[in-house]
Amino acid sequence: MTQNLLDGLRVLDLSLWQPGHYATQLLADLGADVLKVEPPGGDRMRPLADRFANFNGRKRSVALDLKDERDRAVLLELVGGVEVVVENYRPGVAARLGVGFDRLRSANPAVVLCSISGFGQDGPLATATGHDANYQAYAGAMTAVDAGPPVPSALLVGDQGSGLVAAFAILAAVLCARRTGEGEHIDVSMADLLATWVAPLGPVDPRREAASAGGPDGAAPAMGLFATADQRWVVLGVFSEDHFWAALCQELGLERHVGLSMAERTAGAVWLRAEVSAAIAGRTQEDLLDSLGRRAVPIAPVLTRGQMLEHPHFHQRGVLTVGPDGYLMVAHPVRYAVHPALPPGAAPALPEYRLSE
């Protein structure tokens, strides 16, 4: 009988959002045994039936409350029998729950932990909240020309791309762990990945830009692009989270809308979006980033490629670095705590390598 590529690979999936789901789905598709660890009440993506089904096929599931000491002990026992653990909590949450890399490694020295987050486990933006459009905005992936409105991707490129690169990084780390017995902590940042895709690009082609402020305004009135008083743009990422919606309304002087459920916000998306847009239009980008950021509301400035290349977050993270020729280069998009990736090297000359001489 033909075996699958990843038969024998055992994975614990603690992720609650699409990037982790997609990463482990790719592994499951190739034969990995993926056990979903869901919180009491189930994965938060379960209500999105099609999406959940497409990103969680061939997996098994168990419900554990990681805030409960007994359930946490069960998880750590499971860790002893797997090679990979995937999580996409906000930075620091896994450690606070008692399932950070150091704790997992004490249960299994060869375990590979893959952490997927919006901006990475450290850096100036590490604690910022967001959704895919926020990461696109910071990465310079929405650049518009001729003062036109920026246009986000119609695809969840940060979610999907980070899931893909996470699966790749996991397999690289597993190969190393099997060879050396040493585990690895993989740090995947959605914004980092998008920045590495944008940075090498040349001038923007105007033919690819759409003359629309657009954005996903049908389902969520506070998702997508909004113009500010200083002719700039911000991206809000308030989707299903009631606490984000409440904080946004309180900051924008829209207290009368605090308490609206997601269903009510969806039903009134058009007129609610108009009110949010009007409130944002009276504030500057810098003011909004500061005030809403302090309330932990997902907000991002829409940066051009050039602004992204100068942003300290990507330099401190090492995504953008100086190459051997002294010029700015794009580094490997994923960070490894134990076995770091090689720094950027010089491109080969032509011809540099001959099959036979």
The closest alpha carbon to 222, from 191, 257, 265, belongs to 265
Written as one letter, the residue type at 85 is V
Is 159 labeled as catalytic in the residue annotation? yes
284-297 burial code (b ≥16 CB/10 A, e <16)? ebeebbeebbeeeb
CB of 135 within 8 A of CB of 195? no
Task: Tell me if residue 228 falls in helix, strand or coil.
Answer: coil
CB of 18 within 8 A of CB of 43? no
CB of 25 within 8 A of CB of 167? no
Token duo for residue 315: 């330099």
Catalytic residue among 159, 187, 192, 217: 159
Token duo for residue 35: 């056990």
Residue ranges of alpha helices (H) inside the chain are: 18-29, 49-55, 69-79, 93-96, 101-107, 132-138, 157-180, 190-198, 242-252, 262-267, 269-281, 285-294, 305-310, 312-316
Q: Supply the residues annotated as catalytic.
A: 159
